[in-house]
Structure 1
């Protein structure tokens, strides 16, 4: 014959198995399966049912609540999460692990502007050199040299800016 308490736990053991205190378990108001002397026995099923009902009731309350009213605990949790996110971002900015998008946009716009100016100056600079040249390969080499010179100047500008910390 099967023992009546074989699949049941006393309150202290149930609380321990759930990783909570006996007082916290008492606050759950779980219905015991039965009492024997001073011991109260609980089934896992009754604990699960209690927790499922608790969560369901919370959800129903939340859905029925007027959306204009605030839940102070939810708002506090949102505030704490936002503060943590802000602090994390500030630390990343201080460690230079992250940058503001405005700074990146400004730097890229400046680099593109410099590149545009250098490339547009090539025809003006090179045209006089190409005037008397009949050999296409020589003209190509002059153009290629001018382009590489412009690219080198641009990369030197970027390197100099990095060294200055801008």
Structure 2
């Protein structure tokens, strides 16, 4: 069956311009001239389109043909990675991000409370002092005590477990 360019466009649901672009493909079936019109062999164009679509389906995102062995290797690696991840979680080597976020949030809350308590605790200790060096030492000791408490893994992580 011979079709005009417009009929081909209608058949494939594309514009006439798209059919004209298809003609630039060296594999596209050549039209036959009948009078002033070009007519296209519908079966040949459908076969060309089918082959083109099949080629597009078996190409990867980068335009290269997919290698079945390569794809199998990628799948095997992905499955092995998933298995390793599951084993690492079972051994306790990995934790969920949400759990880490919760522990860090608790740490910040504890840090905030400890630091906000420093002025009250320090005020009673430095008020009777008149020597600046002694006041500085008291404040330094209080800050270091707070930081040591906050950095103690037993204090932080025992509560998380």
TM-score by length of 2: 0.49
TM-score by length of 1: 0.48
